[in-house]
Structure 1
Amino acid sequence: MLDKHQKTIATFIHLSTFSRFIIPFGNFIGPLVLWIANKEKSEFVDNHGKQALNFQMSILLYAIIIGTITIPFFIFKILGGLDFIDFNGFHNFHINLGKPSPLLYIGGGLGALMIIAFIVELALIVKASLNARDGKLYNYPLTINFLK
């Protein structure tokens, strides 16, 4: 039988991922500290700790992949469109960006995808926290199980 303390710890494991807005890598440090301190006491807390950490590691991996794909599109567009020859001192500085290229649209689309993924991530963290509060197990979608 789950007691209130176990539910509270599991809830705070998920909510501690929001500490990344205050502490660098807080989305890993907060859940990791709470999980390590309480995983031996409860299988429920152990499960929620693993889920939260697996989800954060999966999100980091996905962000690295999308960022790695996105950045070259912007760099190629910016460097391909700049006209460095027209620099005539500070009196007549001209940058010719030209027409938008398909590379810029692809890069912008991937950037928009990252923003949408961020919003979905926040919603899933809140949903997992509410499930933990109610004593239910929660499995994040599209999560790679690094910790089993």
Structure 2
Amino acid sequence: MEVYNVDNYSSPSKDERMWAMLCHVSTFLGYLLPLIGQVIPPLLIWLIKRDSMPFVDDQGKEALNFQISLLLYTMIAGLLVIVAIGFVFLLIIPIAHFILTIIAAIRSNEGVYYRYPLTIRLIR
């Protein structure tokens, strides 16, 4: 797990930290609205705040990349159900989502540039 604070970035303001935390926490809407609930809320926050808040830009991209990665992993696990191992992954993915998202929200609220593990970085 890679967690770091980048020296060349300024320290995020309280507002930036709150919006960055909301990028991560808003992904829990995916449990109410599967598929779109976990991607649309952080996408909207990121699109609205990315130009005025560099920390939200960074953490919004991180949250989106993690959610997209989880969707891909879930699809692959669904296919692997055919060979039975997919059931294990379908149990692990939501648990990992919950735990890692809580960690990301806490770290971003502390002003740390958090990086999710096993994330495909599609949005740069």
Sort the TM-score into its range (normalised by shorter chain): 0.7 to 0.9
2:8 aligned partner: none
Deviations 1:46-66 (A, max 9, x none): 000000000000011111111
| 2:117 alignment partner, one of 105, 124, 141 | 141
TM-score, normalization by structure 1: 0.72
1:120 aligned partner: 96
Q: Between Structure 1 and Structure 2, which shows a larger proportion of helix residues? A: 1
Matched-pair contact (CA < 8 Å) for 2:74–2:93: no
Report 1:84-99 matches (<5 A).
Answer: none
Larger radius of gyration: 1
Query: How far apart are the structure 2 equivalents of 1:118 and 1:57?
Result: 13
Is residue 2:17 matched to residue 1:7?
yes
2:42 counterpart letter in structure 1: P
What do you get for the CA RMSD once the two structures are aligned? Answer: 1.2
Query: How far apart are the structure 2 equivalents of 1:113 and 1:145?
Result: 21
Quote the offset at 1:138 in angstroms. 0.5
Quote the offset at 1:117 in angstroms. 2.2
Deviations 1:78-106 (A, max 9, x none): xxxxxxxxxxxxxxxxxxxxxxxxxxxx5
Quote the offset at 1:6 in angstroms. 0.3
Is residue 2:18 matched to residue 1:42?
no
Q: Gaps spanning 5+ residues in structure 1: where?
A: 74-105
1:42 counterpart letter in structure 2: M
Q: Between Structure 1 and Structure 2, which shows a larger proportion of strand residues? A: 2
Identity %: 35
TM-score, normalization by structure 2: 0.86
Query: How far apart are the structure 2 equivalents of 1:110 and 1:65?
Result: 8
- Find the residue that maps to 1:138 and give its secondary structure: strand
Deviations 1:18-75 (A, max 9, x none): 01122341101100000000000121110000000000000111111111121xx3xx
Report how many aligned residue pairs link the two structures: 113
Quote the offset at 1:3 in angstroms. 1.3
Query: How far apart are the structure 2 equivalents of 1:19 and 1:68?
Result: 24
